[in-house]
Amino acid sequence: MTTKGAGATARVEVQNLNPGALPFETRITRIDYDDKGVMSETPADADFLVFPPQGILPPGARQVIRLQWVGDADMPASRGYYLSVNQLPVDLAPGQASSGAQVQVVYHMKALVTVAPPNAVPKVEVISVKPVTIAAKEPPALPGAPAATTAAAPSPGIEVVVRNTGTRYAMMAGTNWTIEGTGTNGKPVKLTLAGDDLSRAIGVGYLAPLGGLRTLQVPTGTALTGPIKVRFGK
């Protein structure tokens, strides 16, 4: 979104795939990251007009949620937000209640929303790069399933510290990474990572403007030794 003009509005569509009605409400939070990638959220409903702010979706129905930016039209740099669409718990229908304990599952869905002033641009620079060994992410265990008897093997990768000194956010998973270094056999190695490979490792890789700093770990599949160079491009 932009802070002015036609781009100051956006649409998010939600569909109810449940067999029952889905009552929901919306919330907006502003997001910030520290240099280790730990995100914090603060309430920011006052920066937007949201319609409808709440409602009930019948089974299979769709709802378009409209956002209108009403924050500072002349803010110096972009900001990141989450639009949360939160399912509300409902009373059990007659006949469903029992003397035992009742468990109700509700869904909270989030959409990343970015707002930038006109002509804002990112400016990303690499602060440092080093080879690392990245521990494998264990998949969530299913209830009642036996625990895994063997741990997934770690993989070689790199740890990159990047800074954005521009006035617009950068999405580090939305660009191609060219990585150059030396393999353990002493021969030059050149790798290109993009798309799904980056998304699995770093998500969207949101990098805030005005000096935003992130430390990102990306598997390379090949062990590298220094010095290592990383370039970003389309």
pLDDT given for residue 21 in this prediction:
87
Tokens of residue 25, six digits: 């409400």
Sorted by where each begins, the domain ranges of the chain are 5-89+103-115, 124-138+153-233
pLDDT given for residue 103 in this prediction:
65
Mean pLDDT, the chain, as a whole number? 87
Comparing 144 with 81, which gets the higher pLDDT?
81
Write the pLDDT tens digit of every residue in 27-83: 999 998 876 668 899 999 999 999 999 999 999 999 999 999 999 999 999 999 999
The 3-state DSSP composition of the chain as helix, strand, coil percent (nearest 5) reads 5, 50, 45
Q: Kindly report the pTM of this predicted structure.
A: 0.78
Residues 6+ positions from 79 with CB-CB distance below 8 Å: 30, 71, 114, 115, 116
**Rounded mean pLDDT, 116-137:** 91
Instruction: For 94, list phi and psi in degrees, rounded to 5.
Output: -55, 135
Q: Domain 5-89+103-115 classified CATH 2.60.40.10?
A: yes
pLDDT surpassing 60 at residue 85:
yes
Helix or strand (DSSP H, E) at 197: helix 196-202
**Rounded mean pLDDT, 91-105:** 59
Instruction: For 46, list phi and psi in degrees, rounded to 5.
Output: -70, -15
Highest-scoring range by mean pLDDT, 31-35, 46-50, 149-153, 208-212: 46-50
CA Rg value for the chain: 22
Task: Decide: 13 and 21 in contact? Cβ < 8 Å.
Answer: no
Confidence of residue 154 (pLDDT cuts 50, 70, 90): confident
pLDDT given for residue 147 in this prediction:
60
| Rounded Cα–Cα distance for residues 226 and 129 (Å) | 8
Write the pLDDT tens digit of every residue in 214-228: 999 999 989 998 789
The neighbouring-strand residues paired with 162 are: 126, 214
**Rounded mean pLDDT, 128-134:** 93
pLDDT given for residue 102 in this prediction:
63
**Environment class of 180 (CB within 10 Å of its CB; exposed 0-12, middle 13-18, buried 19+):** middle
pLDDT given for residue 34 in this prediction:
77
Write the pLDDT tens digit of every residue in 174-195: 999 999 999 999 999 999 998 8
